Amino acid sequence: MALSCRAHAFSVEALVGRPSKRKLQDTREQEQSELQENEGGEEEEERKNNAAEKNEQLEMPPKTEPSTTALSGSGGGSGNDNQLKSLKEKDIIQVELQGSELWKRFHDIGTEMIITKAGRRMFPSVRVKVKGLEPGKQYSVAMDVVPVDSKRYRYVYHSSQWMVAGNTDHSCMTTRFYVHPDSPCSGETWMRQIISFDRVKLTNNEMDDKGHIILQSMHKYKPRVHVMEQDTRVDLSQIQSLPAEGVKTFSFKETEFTTVTAYQNQQITKLKIDRNPFAKGFRDPGRNRWKQWLISSDF
């Protein structure tokens, strides 16, 4: 493996599968506000290649909640609300998405993320706050991106909508895994700071050797955040799959996105330009002023 100690992205065959909690599908919106989609780590490894049978049609954009928190009980599956409330908050690992307002604005339009051969950052990026860790215990925090379904999508301009255009060819799909550079770190330190995954890069290059997360274009994905107990002395730079135990997984509906190599929906382009500091050059007023400069100055 050509990854250096801090390359942070690793192949995880075992995680390829999509979420199989189908009965949550329609209630997912509420879960976002109450408990998000928490996927208990323990039973993740057997989810391999459940083909996505249905879900062929697009869904209506969900209504947005102001802030988003995901809880994790002990076991795995999203426990129910009452049960969770009966536990002390300290005992429950809780992950709160930062910047969820912006995420929701994108989500309402239909978030698109550009992927390139060299690797492209996400905007918005995944940023979370964690609560309920044991202060003295060591944890690692990681992120990956998993398919939402096995469909290929196509953007229909005249209706400004994404339509199913076929099925995924599961050729060389290995899910990579970005370990947050601060890992491992004490629960106290993790909880004191905002955990940002802004350096994560997405690529469509299946041969990528820079440790970026490999995705297929024109597919729907969602990022996931994993909080891992680090009591055993495993070297994260070496492991090939998630530890079976002591892993809590969180995801947020509003962070779902469709991969593209060029933006399809112009509203997305506009919002990106408007909010991403690096795109400031494309904000309107006085654009192309330099051309007039060029005209008026002679060499």
Partner DNA sequence: ACGTTTCCACCTAGGTGCGAAACT
Partner DNA sequence: AGTTTCGCACCTAGGTGGAAACGT
Residues that bind a second copy (CB under 8 A): 4-6, 138, 181-182, 184-186, 189-190, 192-193, 231, 233, 235, 237-238, 297
Q: Which of a second copy, DNA, none sits in contact with 297, Cβ below 5 to 8 A by type? A: a second copy
Q: Least distance from C-beta 18 to a second copy, angstroms?
A: 32
Taking the least distance from each CB to a second copy, the nearer of 228 and 260 is 228
94 and 34 Cβ atoms separated by less than 8 Å:
no
What is the side-by-side strand order in the sheet with 120-121?
Answer: 120-121, 201-203, 213-214
Calpha distance 116→109 (Å, rounded): 22
Q: Please state the closest distance from residue 198 (CB atom) to DNA, in A.
A: 8
How does DSSP classify residue 135? T
Shortest reach from residue 189's CB to a second copy, in Å: 4
- Give φ, ψ of 111 to 5 degrees: -60, 135
Q: Looking at 44-52, 73-81, 179-187, 271-279, which segment touches DNA (CB under 7 A)?
A: 271-279
The one of a second copy, DNA, none whose footprint includes residue 238, by CB under 5 to 8 A per kind, is a second copy
The residues facing 201 across adjacent strands are 121
Query: For residues 32 and 140, which CB has a smaller minimum distance to a second copy in the complex?
Result: 140
Rule CB under 7 A: is residue 130 a binding residue for DNA?
A: no
Closer CB to a second copy, residue 170 or residue 192? 192
Q: Which two tokens stand for residue 274?
A: 């408007």
- Least distance (Å) between residue 297 CB and a second copy: 5
Q: Choose from a second copy, DNA, none: what does 207 bind? Cβ within 5-8 Å by kind.
A: none
Contact partner at residue 5 from DNA, a second copy, none, CB < 5 to 8 Å by partner kind: a second copy
235 binds, among a second copy, DNA, none (CB under 5 to 8 A by kind): a second copy
Task: Spell out the residues 6+ positions from residue 238 whose beta carbon is closer than 8 angstroms to its own.
Answer: none
What does the alpha-carbon distance between residue 54 and residue 153 come to, in Å, rounded to a whole number? 14
How long a stretch of residues is the chain? Answer: 299
Q: Of the listed pieces 72-80, 139-147, 175-183, 255-263, which binds DNA according to CB under 7 A?
A: 255-263
Report helix, strand or coil for 264: coil
Give the residue, chosen from 10, 103, 123, 177, that forms a contact with DNA under the rule CB under 7 A: 123
Q: What angle do CA 108, 257, 263 make, to 5 degrees?
A: 85
Measured between alpha carbons, how far apart are the two ends of the chain, in Å? Answer: 53
Nearer residue to DNA within complex by CB, 78 or 259: 259
Question: What one-letter code names the amino acid at 192?
Answer: R
Amino acid found at 194: I
Residue 260 half-sphere exposure, CB side, CA atoms within 13 Å?
17
> Binding residue for DNA (CB under 7 A) from 59, 63, 290, 297?
290
Integer-rounded Cα radius of gyration of the chain? 20
| Helix segments in 24-178, DSSP class H | 28-34, 81-85, 100-109
34's CB contacts (< 8 A; 6+ apart) are: 71, 81
Q: 116 or 186: whose CB is closer to a second copy? A: 186
Binding-site size, DNA (CB under 7 A): 31
Question: Which positions touch DNA (CB under 7 A)?
Answer: 114, 116-117, 120-121, 123, 154-155, 165, 204-205, 217-218, 260-263, 269, 272-273, 276-282, 288-291
